[in-house]
Structure 1
């Protein structure tokens, strides 16, 4: 069910003008329609609320919700400065309105508009906190209080017009003390929220029009040490460099093994390698080309042994 519309059974039960509210697809038409829906008198509201509580009357719930949709629109307008779609704010506010209607007790002596205001704002606040940034900026009670009051207080303190960049103007030490005192929070919490406002989200991957990924966070934040394929490759590499190499050397005769060890595995203290082809040739009384041939044949044997034991 679209959260902005009542269920099919409810819509059928409600007569004009209650069933004439369009969807949020056309925001202007929606707002114009809800503003034309007549308000309920205190007596009508009380009767409908009692029908809902005592008889679970769906039509009564629908009329209570529809007559207060204009209230949600009015409240949602107050939060347009956070850059979130107005339609989404209205939709979340309507969720709060329906929760309020469900819990409303007419015997408490208050009008539904006063009771619903808390629920509407609570749902909109929660939506903003979850969607304003990818990372939550307010989780504690003090942080929530600062989140929804800091920018307006800064405008008052600095005497600036409301604009999107107001929160980027840093507070002075005296202003921090004033905000902390008036909101009954710690100075450190004011400073922390100010820093969070000043920050911004950074895309992990470059935009589609950027070819170079080397400077995007995805290039240096990813930890692939535990990636299964790389872990298997590292394990196989360690095996070949240790026990696997020893098994491969064992299949060689003494001369072939010494040639391979001198040519590829020996490292002297000064960082130089082992004997050259000519030095080995002189030792064994053969040509350098013959030493090279023995080396190539030995490598083939070792490779075959490694493949068979893999």
Structure 2
């Protein structure tokens, strides 16, 4: 079972993926008796050399699984690296007394690490976050045999097979069919394509310096005209507007009526006339 691979090489295939695949394919496959002997030494004696040999002899299996996920557009080397992490976790937890081969036990750990990597890197916007959504993601990817959208019958069939509502299948299909869009246009985009970038139609106008200056000047001008308009009123009208509109605890018509010893209707008329004069100045 000798090999030129070093323990540090197990984590990643590096740049020479083809050479890595050839190297791990040359490692002999363990017989059931050899695997059991190594697993027993690791389980009962914590023998690290046995763990290394178990991992080495199953690297080809990780490569095989990684090839089944080639349709996600992610690096095979990265998938193999993540799968190797899962393999080492499986070897660490493998109990030879259960009576199953390591390859049957390790497949869950290898795929779990690959799935996590795919979900982290396949899209900028995460398509699946909960356990149920993750299961739906990989099952639906496997169920779709063509690029077209699923028909109603196909949606119902997939939903029944996975034990979910048809709307859940439709929702995940929409996520799978979506694409990430860069916020800014690419350097090679021409003028006919550049305007489609979100940076053009999602612009935050509130941060425009010209607009901020214009708004500030408008607010200042409006405040000055409002002070001027109120200043042109008689003292009683100014006080009525102040108590009715400019104080935190606004006075009622009846309170002002008692203060000026007139009817509430008269206070309402004075307020209305004062507001009309102020509005005329502001709109001029």
| Shared fold per TM-score greater than 0.5 | yes
Structure 1 residues 186 and 141: alpha-carbon distance in aligned structure 2, compared to 1, 3 A threshold: farther
SS of the aligned residue for 1:206 comes to coil
Aligned match of 2:274? none
Aligned match of 1:68? 58
SS of the aligned residue for 2:182 comes to coil
Structure 1 residues 146 and 242: alpha-carbon distance in aligned structure 2, compared to 1, 3 A threshold: same
Count of aligned residue pairs for this structure pair: 228
Does the 8 Å CA contact 2:43/2:96 hold for their aligned counterparts?
A: no
CA distance in 1, matches of 2:164, 2:18: 40
SS of the aligned residue for 2:185 comes to coil
Question: Which of 149, 155, 159 lines up with 1:170 in the alignment?
Answer: 149
Aligned match of 1:203? 182
Aligned match of 1:135? 125
TM-aligned CA deviation for residue 237 of structure 1: 5.6
The correspondence of residues 173-188 of structure 1 with structure 2, limited to 5 A, is: 173-188=152-167
CA distances 1:135-171 after superposition (whole Å, capped 9, x unpaired):
111223332222212243232xxxxxxxxxx2x4122
The correspondence of residues 274-293 of structure 1 with structure 2, limited to 5 A, is: none
SS of the aligned residue for 1:37 comes to coil
SS of the aligned residue for 1:208 comes to coil
TM-score by length of 2: 0.68
Question: Which of 78, 82, 92 lines up with 1:92 in the alignment?
Answer: 82
Structure 1 residues 237 and 37: alpha-carbon distance in aligned structure 2, compared to 1, 3 A threshold: farther
Does the 8 Å CA contact 2:86/2:113 hold for their aligned counterparts?
A: yes
TM-score by length of 1: 0.63
The correspondence of residues 242-257 of structure 1 with structure 2, limited to 5 A, is: none
Aligned match of 1:221? 202
Question: Which of 13, 16, 20 lines up with 2:3 in the alignment?
Answer: 16
TM-aligned CA deviation for residue 269 of structure 1: 6.7
Does the 8 Å CA contact 2:42/2:48 hold for their aligned counterparts?
A: yes
Structure 1 residues 240 and 214: alpha-carbon distance in aligned structure 2, compared to 1, 3 A threshold: farther
Does the 8 Å CA contact 2:3/2:27 hold for their aligned counterparts?
A: no
TM-aligned CA deviation for residue 101 of structure 1: 0.9
Does the 8 Å CA contact 1:142/1:185 hold for their aligned counterparts?
A: no
Structure 2: give runs of 5+ residues left out of the alignment. 227-278
Aligned match of 1:276? none
Question: Which of 184, 194, 214 lines up with 2:173 in the alignment?
Answer: 194
Question: CA RMSD, aligned part only?
Answer: 3.5
TM-aligned CA deviation for residue 105 of structure 1: 1.0
TM-aligned CA deviation for residue 240 of structure 1: 5.5
Aligned match of 1:277? none
TM-aligned CA deviation for residue 245 of structure 1: 10
Question: Which of 39, 44, 47 lines up with 2:29 in the alignment?
Answer: 39
TM-aligned CA deviation for residue 181 of structure 1: 0.7
Structure 1: give runs of 5+ residues left out of the alignment. 1-13, 156-165, 247-266, 273-310
* Bigger RCO of structures 1 and 2 (CA < 8 A, at least 6 apart): 2
Aligned match of 1:29? 19
